[in-house]
Amino acid sequence: MKIRGSKEGHVILEEVFSGVELITSDGENMGICMRDTGFEFSYQGVWYSAKNGILEPMKTSDRGNVLVDQSDKDDACSPGPRSADPAATGN
């Protein structure tokens, strides 16, 4: 993570791939994380994706887990190539 200031006195964070969480004194919270393209953020536990000018809620599994879009091959959180054949990955 890189931190610097702007001429206007704002804090500028760059390369924030591990995420930042903001919490008010009332317990309201917002988290944000950068991806290679766009952002993922949560507000009060609801996750959103902001990418290429499009803001949309992130999909969740039946158990409520956030489903990460892994269509970007260069995504830092991607587990790598996927194969329908488990033997191809050694699993």
DSSP letter string, 21-38 = EEE-TTS-EEEEEE-SSS
Q: How many domains does the chain have?
A: 1
Percent pLDDT > 90 in the chain is 46
pLDDT at 75 over 50: no
The pLDDT mean for the chain works out to 79
Structural domain of 26 = 1-57
In a domain, 5, yes or no: yes
In a domain, 67, yes or no: no
Q: What is the pTM of this model?
A: 0.59
In a domain, 76, yes or no: no
In a domain, 87, yes or no: no
In a domain, 52, yes or no: yes
In a domain, 19, yes or no: yes
pLDDT at 13 over 60: yes
